[in-house]
Amino acid sequence: MNRRRFLVLLLAVVLIASLAQTLASAADKRADDASARIASVTPDRREAAEEVELLRAKRVTQEEREAAAERSKLKELLDPDPIVRSLEPTAGGVPDYFGDANWAFSPPLRKFVDSLPGLGADNKNNLDQYIPVATPDTITFPGSDYYEIELREYSERMHSDLPATRLRGYVQANNGTGAGGENNVAPEAIHYLGPIIVAQKDRPVRIKFTNALPTGDSGKLFLPVDTTVMGAGMGPLGMDAMPMNYTENRGVVHLHGGRSPWISDGTPHQWLTPADEMTPYKQGAGVANVPDMWYDPMTHQPVAEGTPDATTNPGPGSMTYFYSNQQSARFMFYHDHTLGITRLNVYAGEAAGYVIEDPEEERLIDENLIPGPEDTIPLVIQDKTFVDPDTIAQTDPTWNWGTTPPTPHEGDLWLPHVYSPAQNPYDEGGANPFGRWHYGPWFWPPTRDISHPPTENPYYDPNNMSVGPPEMPGTPNPSMAGEMFMDTPVVNGTAFPYVEVDPKAYRFRILNAADDRFWNLQLYEADPATESADHRLNTEVRMVPASVCATNFPEGWPTDGRDGGVPDPGTRGPNFVQFATESGFLASPAVLENKPITWNTDPTTFNFGNVDGGTLILGPAERADVVVDFSQHRGKTLIVYNDAPAAYPARDPRLDYYTGAPDLTDTGGHWGPQVGFGPNTRTIIQIRVRDVAPAPSFDTTALVEAFKSTDTTEGVFERGQDPILVAQSAYDSAYNTTFPTSWPDWGYARIQDNSMNIHTVTGTTLTLPLEPKAIQDEMGEAFDDYGRMEGKLGLELPNTQAGRQTFVLQKYMDPPTEFIKAEFTPMAPVANDGTQIWKITHNGVDTHPIHFHLFDVQLLNRVGWDGQIRRPDANELGWKDTVKVSPLEDTIVALRAVVPTAPFKLGDSIRLLDPTMPAGSTEGFTNIDPYTGDDMEGGETPDPDVNRLYNYGWEYMWHCHILSHEEMEMMRPIVMRVAPAAPTTLTATAAGASTVNLAWSNNATDPAATNVYIERATNAAFTSNVTTFTAEAAATTYADTTVEAATTYYYRVRAENQVAYSAWSNQAWATPTSQQTVAAPTNLTATAISGWRIRLNWKDNATNEDHYYVERRTGTAGAWIRLTTLRANTTTYTNGYRLVHGQRYSYRVRAGNRTIGYSAYSNVASAITRR
C-alpha cells in the first residue's frame, strides 16, 4: 500500500471513529432525555410514551446516514481493486436500493426571471401563462351559475429555461352569459390552475364535468403509477377483465371546503373515465348525477324539465355536480380525488381555485378596510421537480416515465418511485446512506408475515460487500413513496416567479396546493450584494449564523446553530395581517410578524421536536387571506421566504434546498444549490416594489376594530360567520362578551378528560363526551404488505387509563366508525343536537393536515401527553376545514354538520364496503373490533367483516391532506344520517271499486320526516302509469280514492324531509272491484292445549273468500308476522311451530279474495302456552 493511500485510509479510520464517538454521546443524551419525557407523561399515556420513545430511538438521522456512507468509502479504500457493479440498473428495471440515490433534481433554473401569472388573459406573464377565470352561464339553469368543465391533457411552459411540461387540468367548455343576456362569451383557453370559479353566497353553481383525457395507451399517466396502491390496480373482476387494472385516465372533481350534497362531494369512488375508454370499469361505485339537471339523450345538451325522453344522464364520460355555496366568503379550490391516483392527478395539474363572495366581504372592500379586486393577488404555491436529462441517469437510473420513455425528457415532471429503505441490517450501524423511509421487516418490532418480504438483491457481490447486502426490499418499481417533497417552488404555475407591486397595501389569497410540503412564509428584503454567476442581484435573502452570541436578534429569533443560518432580522419586510382562513373570516385579524421556524427544544416536554413557532405556516390544503403593506418599502426588492421543514416537523436536510447548502450526494442529496439558481425551496417569490410615491400606510387598527362587536353593532365575525360551538375567552371581542376563563367551562380539554363542559355563545352549558379518534404512523402496526410504512386513522379505545392505551387503526374499506347527525340550521349547540367533540390522539412522528369534508370544525386546543395545554394560534380562531394535528398531542375539535339544502331530494349512498373487490370477499379488512380491540377472526363475536353492501347515508370523509399519506389509506368515511328511517309493513286493502286503503309502520324519528311520499303504479317495476301522493309526516294510513275497478295497483312508500328521502318500504298491491267486499271473521279464540300448541277457532262470515291469512305476534306489542295461508271456509287452526313454554302469543285472522281484496282483521285473541 503506497504512503498516500495509507494516509487517506488512516484519516478515514480516524474520522469514522470520531463519528462513532459523537453518535454514541448523542445516543446517551437522547436516552436520558427520553427517560425524563416518559416520566412527565400522565399515567394513562405511559405505555404509549414508551413506544414512542422506542420509535424516536429508531429514527435514522442524517449523521447516521453519513456514517454509513463513510463506512462504505472505507471498504472501497480497503479493496485493492476498483469497485464496479457487475450489473447496472436500467430504465424500468430493479433499483439498487443501496448504491444509488434513486432521486432526481431539477435543472439549475434561474430564479426570478419570469413574472407571476395573474387572473385572466389581460394578466398573462412573459410565458403566456395566466389563470383563466370561468364565465358563468346564468340562463340554462335559472337561479344558478352553470359551467361545463372538461378534464384534458396539454402542455405549458413553466419557466423560461424549460421546454413545455406535459400536464393535466381543467378547462371551461361552454359559453358564458354576456352583458346582453346571451351565451356569447367564449371560454378562455386551457392553462395551469384554471379555470377559477367565482361564486356568490347562496347562489348555486351547477357543473357538467366531462373527462376528455386521451384513451388507450395515450391515456396512461406520464408519471409512475404504483398499481399496488388501493384502487390503482386490479378491479373486482380480477384477471377475467380486459384490461385487468383500473385505467390511469380516471377523474373526479372534489370541491374542497364546499357544503355540497353527497352526490357532488367528489369522493374517491365517484370517478369516471373518458367516454371512449375500453374498460369494464367506466365509473366508480359512488357516481350519481344531480336529479334536476336534464339533458337530451342524443345531443347531451341541457333541456328543460319535462322535455320528452329527457334524462339526468349528461352523456358517457360526463357527470353533473351541484354546489350550494351556502357559506361565507372564502377561498376554496377544486381538485381530483380519484381512488389510487389522487396524489398523481393533483401533481399533474388537476386543481383550480374557487371563490365565494358575500356582502360582508363587499362591505370591507367598500369601507376601504381591505384592498379591492384590483389590488388582490392569488398565490397558489406548490413544489415540483423537473427532469434534468443531464443528471437523472446518475441519480435515478431506473426512471422510465414522462413524455419520451425510456429517454428522459427535460421539463417533464418527476416524482419519487423507489421505496428506499432507511435501514440496512448488513451495515455495522444498521443504516442505508441513501435510505428515505422505514422498512417494516427491518424495523422493530419487525413486520412479519407480509405478502412480499425481502428478496434477493441482484446487485449483491459476496466478494464486494460495499456494493450492497444480499437482500433488498420486495417492493415494486414503481412504488408509492412515503412522501413527495420536491425541489422547486411553483406559484400560479410558474417556477420562481417575480411580481411587481406599488408601494401600497395588497390583498394576497394564498393556497398551499402542494401534495405534501408545508410552507412557513416570511418576507425579507433581498440581499443586494450577493451576485449570481450570471451577474444577477437580489436573488437571495441575507443569512446570518443562528448563534447564541448574536447581540442584535429580537426576542424569539432562533439561536440553535441550524444549518444555513437564519435570515438577518434587520432585513425583515412588512408583516402579514391575516383576516381569514380557508373557512372564512377569523374571529379577529392576526398580525404575523416575520420569524423563522422554531421547534420545541425542551427535551423534558413530551412533544419535544414539534414546530412551536413561525410566521404564516400553511400545511397542504390550508389557505390564508392576508393584507401586506408595501408602503414603507418603496423601490425595494423583497423575497417571500420559506423554511418549513420537510418532513414536518422532523427535517430531512436532503429535502431542504437552499443556497450554500453542503454537498449531500453521499447520502442521496443534492450537491448544493448556487446563488441565483434552483433547486431552492427557501426562496419562493421575488416582489419588486416600484419606485413611485407611496400610498398611506394600511390601517390595521381599523380592520381589527371592524371585527369587534359592540353593544350596538355586530362585528365582522359575529355578523358574517356561523356561531362558534364552544365559547372561549379568545372570542370575547368577536361577541362583545366575557366568556369563562377557568375550568370547567373554559372551553379547553385536558389530557385526562373523557368529556367536557361547553359554554355556548347563547349562554347554555352542556356536557359532551370526547369522541376518541386516533392517528398513527411509522409504528410497527402501520406497515403494508410490502413492508412500506403507512399512516392510518382509527379509534382510540374509550376511557383510556394506565395500562390500557390502545389504538385500533382502520382502513378506508373497513366499516364506518364516524356517524354524524345532520342539522339543518347553523346555530349554537343545544342538548341532543348533532354537536360532537373529537379528541384526535396522534401517536407518531409527522404533523398531519387533517381535512374534513362537508363541514368546518372549531379547533378548541391541543394538549401534550404530559398535560400541557396549547391554545389555538391567533390565525386558527374561527372555523377551519383543515387542521394541523401534531404528534404526541391530542388535538380537540368541535363540529356540527349542517346539511346543504337543494331544490331536490336525495337518497343514501349504498355501495360495497370495498368496490375494488367482489362482493363476499373477506380480503383486506382489518378485522379488529374498533370499539373493543378484539380480534374479529378468532371465533369470537362479532363475525369477521365481509365485502357487503353498506348504507353510508350521506357519505363524506376525513383524511390527511398530505396526499401521499391519504393514499396510504389515511382516510375514513363519514356517515351523515340525513334521511329518515324507511316505513315498514306496508299493506294495501281494496275497499270497494274506487278505494284502496294503505297502512304502514312509521319509523321516522331522528332524523324526523316532513312528509310521507307514496308511489303507485300498475306494474311491480313501477314503470307503468306511475302516480304519486303525499301524506303528513306522522301518517300511518292513506286512502287512495283515485283507483278503478278490476285493475291491480302496486304501492310503495318512503319518508322524506327537507333534503333527503328514505329507502322504499316493501311493496303491497290490491285490486279494487265493484263486487261486495269480503266479510271479516269474528269470535276468534285462542286456547293453549300444551306447552307448544295453541288452537284457534273463529266464525266464518264470508261467502266469497278464497283463502285466509293467520298472523301472530309475541306478547301484546310485538310486530305481526304472517304464519300461514289457509283454504276458504276454514274456521280452525292449530299453531305448533316454534312456540316457547310459558309465553303469551296474540293472533288475528282475515279473509281474502284474490280479485276483490281482503277483509278487515278479526278481533285479537291471546293465549299463554303451558309451562
pLDDT, tens only, 953-996: 999 999 999 999 999 999 999 999 999 999 999 999 998 888 99
| C-alpha dihedral (980, 986, 991, 996), degrees to nearest 10 | 50
Instruction: From 926, 950, 974, give the residue that closes a domain.
Output: 974
**Considering the domain boundaries, does residue 363 fall inside one?**
no
Q: State yes or no: pLDDT of 1135 exceeds 70.
A: yes
Task: Let me know whether 957 and 992 are in one domain.
Answer: no
* DSSP class of 815: P
pLDDT of residue 83: 59
Task: Let me know whether 800 and 879 are in one domain.
Answer: yes
Tell me the per-residue pLDDT of 594-647, one tens digit each, with 9 for 90 and over.
999 999 988 888 888 999 999 999 999 999 999 999 999 999 999 999 999 999
Percent of the chain past pLDDT 90, that is, above it, reads 81
Q: State yes or no: pLDDT of 941 exceeds 80.
A: no
Instruction: From 1070, 1091, 1113, give the residue that closes a domain.
Output: 1070
Tell me the per-residue pLDDT of 203-259, one tens digit each, with 9 for 90 and over.
999 999 999 999 999 999 999 999 999 999 999 998 777 878 999 999 999 999 999
Tell me the per-residue pLDDT of 779-812, one tens digit each, with 9 for 90 and over.
656 789 999 998 999 999 876 655 455 788 999 9
Task: Let me know whether 1018 and 1120 are in one domain.
Answer: no
pLDDT of residue 943: 82
Q: State yes or no: pLDDT of 82 exceeds 90.
A: no
pLDDT of residue 428: 87
pLDDT of residue 9: 47
Distance CA 190, CA 172 (A): 8
Task: Let me know whether 755 and 839 are in one domain.
Answer: yes
Q: State yes or no: pLDDT of 815 exceeds 60.
A: yes
Omega before 649 within 30 of 0, i.e. cis: yes
Task: Let me know whether 742 and 858 are in one domain.
Answer: yes
Tell me the per-residue pLDDT of 1104-1117, one tens digit each, with 9 for 90 and over.
999 999 999 998 88
pLDDT of residue 611: 96
- Give the CATH number, domain containing residue 744: 2.60.40.420
Range of lowest pLDDT (56-60, 438-442, 681-685, 1145-1149): 56-60
Tell me the per-residue pLDDT of 117-142, one tens digit each, with 9 for 90 and over.
999 999 999 999 999 999 999 999 99
**Considering the domain boundaries, does residue 513 fall inside one?**
yes
Q: State yes or no: pLDDT of 18 exceeds 60.
A: no
- What number is the average pLDDT over the span 100-124? 98
3-state DSSP assignment of residue 472: strand
**Considering the domain boundaries, does residue 218 fall inside one?**
no
Q: State yes or no: pLDDT of 678 exceeds 70.
A: yes
Omega before 695 within 30 of 0, i.e. cis: no
What is the residue-averaged pLDDT of the chain?
Answer: 92
**Considering the domain boundaries, does residue 835 fall inside one?**
yes
The answer to whether 257 and 583 are in contact (CB under 8 A) is yes
Task: Let me know whether 935 and 1004 are in one domain.
Answer: no
pLDDT of residue 1149: 98
Q: State yes or no: pLDDT of 732 exceeds 70.
A: yes
Task: Let me know whether 1057 and 1124 are in one domain.
Answer: no
Omega before 900 within 30 of 0, i.e. cis: no
Distance CA 71, CA 666 (A): 11
Tell me the per-residue pLDDT of 552-585, one tens digit each, with 9 for 90 and over.
999 999 999 999 999 999 999 999 999 999 999 9
pLDDT tier for residue 62 given thresholds of 50, 70 and 90: confident
3-state DSSP assignment of residue 733: helix
- What number is the average pLDDT over the span 530-538? 97
Which is more confidently placed, 1133 or 461?
Answer: 1133
**Considering the domain boundaries, does residue 1012 fall inside one?**
yes
Distance CA 760, CA 762 (A): 5
* DSSP class of 374: G
The answer to whether 243 and 237 are in contact (CB under 8 A) is no
Locate cell 373515465: which residue? Answer: 273
The answer to whether 1056 and 1012 are in contact (CB under 8 A) is yes
- What number is the average pLDDT over the span 265-282? 97
pLDDT of residue 781: 66
The answer to whether 314 and 293 are in contact (CB under 8 A) is yes
Instruction: From 1070, 1092, 1109, give the residue that closes a domain.
Output: 1070
Task: Let me know whether 912 and 945 are in one domain.
Answer: yes
pLDDT of residue 445: 81
Which is more confidently placed, 38 or 312?
Answer: 312
pLDDT of residue 1: 45
Distance CA 496, CA 679 (A): 10
Task: Let me know whether 1049 and 1087 are in one domain.
Answer: no
**Considering the domain boundaries, does residue 441 fall inside one?**
no
pLDDT of residue 666: 94
Q: State yes or no: pLDDT of 291 exceeds 90.
A: yes
Task: Let me know whether 920 and 1000 are in one domain.
Answer: no
Contacts of residue 433, defined as CB under 8 A and 6 or more positions apart, other chains included, come to 65, 66, 68, 69, 72, 98, 666, 667, 668
Structural domain boundaries enclosing 658: 488-697
Distance CA 331, CA 618 (A): 14
Task: Let me know whether 742 and 823 are in one domain.
Answer: yes
**Considering the domain boundaries, does residue 442 fall inside one?**
no
- Give the CATH number, domain containing residue 998: 2.60.40.10
- What number is the average pLDDT over the span 706-730? 98
**Considering the domain boundaries, does residue 199 fall inside one?**
no
Tally the domains of the chain: 4
Q: Is 398 left (phi over 0), alpha (psi -120 to 50) or beta?
A: alpha
pLDDT of residue 1014: 98
3-state DSSP assignment of residue 548: coil
Task: Let me know whether 860 and 800 are in one domain.
Answer: yes
Q: State yes or no: pLDDT of 38 exceeds 60.
A: no
- Show the beta-strand stretches assigned E in 726-764: 755-759
Picking from 707, 655, 644, 619, the residue whose alpha carbon sits closest to that of residue 891 is 619
